[in-house]
Structure 1
């Protein structure tokens, strides 16, 4: 479960960095108040009205509502990504490097699993029983 959460967190952080640095533009072509063409990746196709009636935007504003339908416009929405990302390069002194290396080594060894249960006194026999201490001290387990 812990490994799955770690993978989800790393993928989500990678996607956050990707989408925060990505920039894109949306092109839209309007004829009057109607959206004629919409494009994410290419330039929009201009309509035939724009080639037939070449009017400037000031002329479109002056004309009445009937002629305003012939005025075409292109709208481009640009969403800029973040460009000032930098990697942090901190310089560590030799003492700090030694501390970090020893800390990581000790921390990793805390979670190291042993393959078998190590019994250090398995090859040694117990000392010979010269006298029974429990009987001498009259200490008995009930």
Structure 2
């Protein structure tokens, strides 16, 4: 639910670069890559020509107002459904009873020799 709220409130910009009528690049959040045919505008040398390339930006706005509803504002049937859903769902996650481990404080005996090597018994 939090993911959907975040997704619906995020605004972002889609940038598109066209060369003539052909779409060259589309990008989200950053400026689109150019095709390399953009005209350099040096006003002293060449009179200004119209470029064949253009950029379009499309802004997708997320919602900026959220409606917050309290439990008391809900109707009785909605409160009943919410309560009857939440109670069994909460019971699914009850803790496991504490288990007693009888050999927790037991220390194993010291090994003097490796019995498997002495008897030459190996698992393959």
TM-score (norm 2): 0.43
TM-score (norm 1): 0.38
Bigger helix fraction: 1
